Structure 1
Amino acid sequence: MLKRWIRKPTPDPEQVRHLSEALRVNEAIISLLCQRGIGTYAEAKSYFRPDLAELPDPMLMRDMDRAVQRLTDALFREEKVLVYGDYDVDGTTSVALVYSYLRTLFGPARIDYYIPDRYLEGYGISTIGIDWAAKNGYKLIVALDCGVKSVDKISYAVEKGVDFIVCDHHLPGDELPPAVAVLDPKRPDCPYPYKELSGCGVGFKLMQALCQSQGFDEQPLLELLDLLAVSIAADIVPITGENRLLMYHGLRRLNDPTIETRPGLYALRQLAGLREGPLNVSSLVFGFAPRINAAGRLGDAKRSVAMLLSETAEQALATASVVDQTNTERRGFDTRITEEALQMIEQDELLRTSRSTVLFKQDWHKGVIGIVASRCLDKYYRPTVILTESNGKATGSARSVVGFDVHQAIVECSDLLEQFGGHMYAAGLTLPLENVPEFRRRFEAVVSSRLTDEQMIPPVDIDLPLRLREVTWGFYNLLHQMEPFGPGNSSPVFESQQVYAVPGSVKIVGNSHLKLTLMQEDSSPIEAIGFGLAEHFARIAQGQPFSVCYNVDVNEWRGHKSLQLRLKDIGWGDVEASAS
């Protein structure tokens, strides 16, 4: 697939020189910092050494005072509290974190948790859950990673005598629910300085505010940052500002050999085969998140919470094994449905030539359609909606390309929908079955009117040009200090031109991957791997010079470590490139 090479603007040379002298760090690293908005010694110090003392005051969040007061009243009135969360990773880690902390204050008899059944209750707050809470004597529900649009459901709860504190991070609608407090940094009237917290992050801020207001010891709360790190990674929120600070310390807990790992996360690590080396954001995204998610997709998401709350290794491994088996089943559904979806596109001329993808099949498994949407996006790179039937309705997931707001496109079709919500790049929706054809037509019309030709070509953002001779262990160690990497603080991508392959080094591995050794005229040889780039084999093997864009990585094999370039793309002079 053709890709756009987008070169980021070069930072101001004088600023780079000045900061390089102040930090005594080479100018390539300083250029990367400046591109990330870090231009002073103090900002660089905060970036390289994130300090929990720099966390924003949780009381800056709108309604936080009301939320803390209601929780405090519940604590001293000896009321029962229900911790209610969504069934995905963000929701289940939120529940595990808030439940763990409140349990130390309320005691096990006065607190419980609730995860809605994906198929019986659907996303978010449900009347079934509210009825369960009222029947069992819960006067207060703390809703996590959901609730900001649940106006009708929370109105129903008020009638039943059940109060709500909403901790959400999704975009609110025109009307807020009648909860005691609605904590959401994305509220237009919320002055909280950081807007990109995960749902678990909002729950953490509530616990932080409660802790500070009552003078409780913060250490038990900080010991839960490992759960928050998993949430931040899995929910694909930007790893910038406060999220990066929280992720940094969460990963430190996970990787500190002097700290006993939470049994549930340790069991996940073993089952994911992540036994060697430190965990990073990618480990959490690809190793932990699918397994935690699988329970909610195919089974009972309460299993994931039970695993995260396990107090012994034996309990954790028993539950994690069931979760892992569920993930294996999920992969089977995922593979089969993805193949069906791609075949539907390939066999339909109209679908092949559309600027969007909207697919519906009655018997697709609801739990994996979000994954299937992502797979179709990877193949065709255009806004994608995958729908199936559930409880007599069409329900589905949407995914989008860089720069196109799929949530807004869905808003413009909202008269056809019964429920929807989400973000710029991912959303969920429910609609009557009879509206599917009209939704497909309308969504395609909206996308066609807004999506540019350029947006249909996947971008590769390139940070800096680099000579291969500059890729040294010292350079890599400085890059390593810029972690954790993720959205908003991505692993730097470099471009090197006029490179060539060492004769005889070019190989195809795993059918579609390219393995080779690269050189420039003034460099030593360096290993490189290009996943999915085998199409370039013949041309490279002929000895022609080319350009590469890449991350700098480490390859470890049988105890031996070597620097390696992880190629993002290969260019031959005809590659489309631009400055952002």
Structure 2
Amino acid sequence: MLPYTHMHRPASLRHYRWLVAPAIPDDSPLRAADEGVHPILRQILYNRGLTQPGQIQTFLANHYLSSRDPFLLADMERAVERIGRALRDGEMIVVYGDFDADGVTATVLLTQALRRMADDRRLIQPYIPDRVDEGYGLNLEALTALRAKGASVVISVDCGIRSPVEAAHAQAIGLDLIITDHHSLGRELPPAAAVINPKRPDSTYPEKMLAGVGIAYKLAQALRLAYPDRAMGEESDLLDLVAIGTVADLAPLVGENRKLVAEGLAVLNEVRRPGIAALMNVSGLQAGQMTAESIGFALGPRINAAGRLAHAYDAARLLIAAAPDHAQEQARLLDELNRQRQSLTRRLSALAEQLIDPDAPIIIAGNPEFKSGVVGLVASRLAEKTYRPAIVMELGEAESRGSCRSIPEFHITHALDEVADLLVRHGGHAQAAGFTIRNENLPAFIERMTAIAGEQLSGADLRPGLEIDAALPLRDVDWALHGTLEQLEPTGNQNPQPLLLSRGVEVVSHRPVGTDGSHLQLYLVDGHNGAARYGGARGRPAQAFPAIAFRQGEWAGALPKYVDVVYRVGLNRWNGNTNLQLVVEDICPAEDGSTP
């Protein structure tokens, strides 16, 4: 790995570590591999741990070789037996979800699957808690109310694994609780009728990193296998929901998740749901062109906006809408909520920046004005801007709720585990978590978390790293390379769009763009000796590439003639035309300061 930074840049622009992946070793089997695989693609896949020719062929063909048998998940048989009995005896079943996109899609998916199997669909009811009034996950009052309404089985999706008290309460009031969740395990499994989580050490299911909606899908699969006489509809009808929830929750897009999302994108592009068609319409998306990026930047945020600023039922209603008029109405509502979310996030992020010490080992900000629906987004912005783990709390009268975002060097949920004695509840992943805390414990919480972060991050180089897959001359970027890189799709967490590096690139022109000039538009060509430096073909005419550098408008007026650029190869669609475009992640003056 080669760390590289340059001092001659506008002071406000972030300094990245450029981490250029080493070339494939000479003794690697990939050196003698099938020449049908582009060398840049082979290098990218090697960087991601695929070191054998067979692994690369399997990845490119999207053949997931491990078993997908849902009954390999611990407690699946117990869950299926109890649900089957409830369906046979006409008991009320409640699907208890979460208010983010993963939780909403999981709730809709399992509710839809169970209603297809039930003799009376009214006995299958969804329940999503209110973010403000109830908070995340199972709660005692909701379980008591559901039992009073006649529910005898509650199935949690995307929550519950760290709710032993709530599970014991359900048991005490005669409510059979089935927990399906993908979050990290607590110190004990809740005392439920069944606990399905692929992270359980006694689970033999090969894919450990399914999203909450992926586990709900596995439960639906198992029910179809166990009760084929009750199953109705196509199983593939649920895959669009799996794709949305998996991508929106940033689940790793490798292994079975990648296959599920690929299968789900095929269904999404058929636009089987009126709600999806309406949401695509307000998002400016086209059928047949949906990608994981479309979910991450367009569909997911709008679905999440409902649970952040209103109620997640608004998103659920959209996904189950059968009438196009109703779907359009719900889609417009989500689009407006998303605009409000963006505005609120900007305002509260500015407020948070006034409250923090950006050089502290962990960034902690609390204020009554922070809204629970956007504290996670504000924490994410703080973590990105400071490259420190960040905690943002909505301060209540007696209790406060916090959302955490972290960096690869700091496992935030493990840190919360160390102060669990101060918390009412908590849970999450390595880089994202949430918690509730009594206000009298806040001073001790801040002191101990600061100490934990200070100890773990002591001596760490706290600058974000750009993991660069390969260096190549700019003239080697063409439609053929773009088509080659598309074989990596669907891309996302742990399978990102590749980052490429071209050195000594000439800046033909540049200008700030955007309403506030915060972005930079450029036209770039290879420098005078670019082909010779990289061993590329000589004599090919230089092509000026359009490029966009988001949030780097301050380079305007300060950009030298020759630069080194790190970028992704993207597309720009405008007025019916589609062109290649470089999406620039970082810029530095060329290493020798003038020409290549």
Aligned: 1:59 with 2:78: no
TM-score of the two chains, using structure 2 as the length reference: 0.90
C-alpha deviation, 1:250, in angstroms? 0.7
Equivalent runs, 1:10-409 vs 2, <5 Å: 10-13=23-26, 14-21=28-35, 24-40=36-52, 42-50=54-62, 56-106=68-118, 107-215=120-228, 220-255=234-269, 259-275=270-286, 278-345=289-356, 351-390=357-396, 392-409=398-415
Structure 1 residue identity aligned to 2:403: S
Closer, same or farther: CA 524–260 of 1 in aligned 2, 3 Å: closer
Report how many aligned residue pairs link the two structures: 561
Contact kept? 2:271, 2:287, Cα under 8 Å: no
* 509-518 vs 95-104, greater mean Cα deviation: 509-518
Q: Name 2:569's counterpart in structure 1.
A: 552
Contact kept? 1:17, 1:27, Cα under 8 Å: no
Q: Name 1:470's counterpart in structure 2.
A: 476
Structure 2 residue identity aligned to 1:145: D
SS for the counterpart of 2:162 is coil
C-alpha deviation, 1:260, in angstroms? 4.1
Contact kept? 2:564, 2:587, Cα under 8 Å: yes
**Percentage of matched positions with identical amino acids:** 36
Partners of 1:362 and 1:61 in 2: CA distance: 42
Contact kept? 1:551, 1:568, Cα under 8 Å: yes
Structure 2 residue identity aligned to 1:77: D
Aligned: 1:432 with 2:432: no
C-alpha deviation, 1:366, in angstroms? 1.6
Q: Name 1:568's counterpart in structure 2.
A: 585
Partners of 1:138 and 1:352 in 2: CA distance: 49
Partners of 1:53 and 1:318 in 2: CA distance: 43
C-alpha deviation, 1:307, in angstroms? 1.4
Aligned: 1:534 with 2:534: no
Partners of 1:167 and 1:324 in 2: CA distance: 30
C-alpha deviation, 1:169, in angstroms? 0.3
Contact kept? 2:155, 2:178, Cα under 8 Å: yes
SS for the counterpart of 1:141 is strand
C-alpha deviation, 1:355, in angstroms? 1.9
C-alpha deviation, 1:39, in angstroms? 4.3
RMSD over aligned Cα atoms: 2.1
Closer, same or farther: CA 390–324 of 1 in aligned 2, 3 Å: farther
Over 6 Å off, 4+ runs: none
Partners of 1:423 and 1:99 in 2: CA distance: 26
Contact kept? 2:507, 2:563, Cα under 8 Å: no
> 5+ unaligned residues in a row in structure 2: which ranges?
1-13, 532-541
Q: Name 1:348's counterpart in structure 2.
A: none
Closer, same or farther: CA 353–469 of 1 in aligned 2, 3 Å: closer
C-alpha deviation, 1:215, in angstroms? 3.4
Partners of 1:7 and 1:420 in 2: CA distance: 37
C-alpha deviation, 1:397, in angstroms? 0.3
Closer, same or farther: CA 44–155 of 1 in aligned 2, 3 Å: same
* 61-70 vs 44-53, greater mean Cα deviation: 44-53
Which whole-Å deviations, capped at 9, do the CAs of 1:330-377 have from their partners, x for residues lacking one?
3332222111111223xxxxx243122111112322211111111212
SS for the counterpart of 1:456 is coil
Which whole-Å deviations, capped at 9, do the CAs of 1:524-561 have from their partners, x for residues lacking one?
33222211223334453x42x32111111122222222
C-alpha deviation, 1:483, in angstroms? 0.5
Partners of 1:137 and 1:323 in 2: CA distance: 32
* 508-517 vs 398-407, greater mean Cα deviation: 508-517
Partners of 1:17 and 1:219 in 2: CA distance: 48
Partners of 1:197 and 1:455 in 2: CA distance: 32
C-alpha deviation, 1:484, in angstroms? 0.6
Aligned: 1:508 with 2:512: yes
Which whole-Å deviations, capped at 9, do the CAs of 1:134-167 have from their partners, x for residues lacking one?
1122111111000111111111111111101111
Contact kept? 2:157, 2:216, Cα under 8 Å: yes
SS for the counterpart of 1:565 is strand
Which whole-Å deviations, capped at 9, do the CAs of 1:75-97 have from their partners, x for residues lacking one?
22222211110111111100100
* 102-111 vs 314-323, greater mean Cα deviation: 314-323
Structure 2 residue identity aligned to 1:126: N
Closer, same or farther: CA 51–15 of 1 in aligned 2, 3 Å: closer
SS for the counterpart of 2:301 is helix
Which whole-Å deviations, capped at 9, do the CAs of 1:362-408 have from their partners, x for residues lacking one?
23222111111112122222111101124620111011122211112
SS for the counterpart of 1:125 is coil
Q: Name 1:3's counterpart in structure 2.
A: 16
Structure 2 residue identity aligned to 1:6: L
